[in-house]
Amino acid sequence: MLNVVIFGAPGSGKGTQSEKLIEKYGLKHVSTGDLLRAEIKGKSQLGQMAESYMSKGQLVPDEVVIGMLEGLVQRNGHVKGFIFDGFPRTLAQGEALDAMLTKYNEKVNVVLSLEVEDEELIVRLLKRGEISGRSDDNRETIESRLRVYYNQTAPLKDFYEEQGKLVRIPGQGSIDDIFASMATVLDRITV
Ligand code: ADP
């Protein structure tokens, strides 16, 4: 399997680039944000609980997100590989992901980290809020998501850098140019 983590702050383009990557490489897209929003839409108990965190820009508790992914990885043993988008977001999630994949003799092959300046992130998220109406794309929640990103998620960069898996990708410029930089990295990986 080719297992890719697409990493970056909110608004860095993880979802957009993931869609292009799944198309080119035939990978299974795993977006914890999308999975949680589906739970909210379906008004499940998990969704109602998740919403209380997401609407404030906080992270949904690790056990919940990890539990949601365990079954999914298990059910998809036949895929070419996964793109993890928005997961892991904490060190505990990073460790849990390694443990999940190790069970199947698999691992994270590469972490593509989209690097975008804060000012640009805020502009993009405010614009997305206007267009898509995503309720967490408002100024107050955006600020708290960025704080959460720097405090809880960014430390994962050291975790992956120490493992020699982190590749930084400049995330400003055209969508196609950014995609091309990612594809160059993935084409060099043989699994
Ligand atoms: P973005 O990257 O733009 O913030 P996402 O769709 O990835 O968008 O996430 C939206 C919200 O969903 C997050 O702010 C958080 O509350 C919740 N969420 C998504 N993924 C996780 C995760 N792995 N762990 C905890 N909470 C998560």
* 56 Cβ closer than 6 Å to some ligand 1 atom: no
Q: In the sheet where 28-31 sits, what is the strand order?
A: 28-31, 82-85, 4-8, 110-115, 166-170
Q: Which residues contact 175 (CB under 8 A, 6 or more apart)?
A: 13, 16, 17, 20
* 57 Cβ closer than 6 Å to some ligand 1 atom: yes
Report, as residue numbers or ranges, the catalytic residues.
14, 89, 128, 134, 145
Residue identifier of the C-alpha nearest atom 2 of ligand 1: 10
Nearest 10 degrees: Cα torsion 180, 121, 42, 46: 110
**Domains parsed from the chain with CATH numbers:** 2-190 (3.40.50.300)
The model's pLDDT over 61-87, given as tens digits with 9 standing for 90+, comes to 999 999 999 999 999 989 999 999 999
Neighbours of 152 (CB within 10 A): 16
The model's pLDDT over 130-172, given as tens digits with 9 standing for 90+, comes to 998 888 999 999 999 999 999 999 999 999 999 999 999 999 9
* 159 Cβ closer than 6 Å to some ligand 1 atom: no
Q: Does residue 4 register a pLDDT over 90? A: yes
Closest CA to 191 of 38, 3, 52: 3
Residues 98 and 108 sit within 8 Å (Cβ to Cβ): yes
pTM for the predicted model, two decimal places: 0.95
In the block, tokens 């909210």 appear at 40
* Distance (Å, whole) CA 5 – CA 86: 8
Segment holding 158, helix H or strand E? helix 156-162
Check residue 150 and give left, alpha or beta (phi > 0: left; psi -120 to 50: alpha).
alpha
Q: Percent of the chain having pLDDT more than 70? A: 100
From the CA of 19, how far away is ligand 1's center (Å)?
17
b or e along 98-127 (b: 16 or more beta carbons within 10 Å of the residue's beta carbon)?
Answer: bebbeeeebebbbbbbbebeeeebbebbee
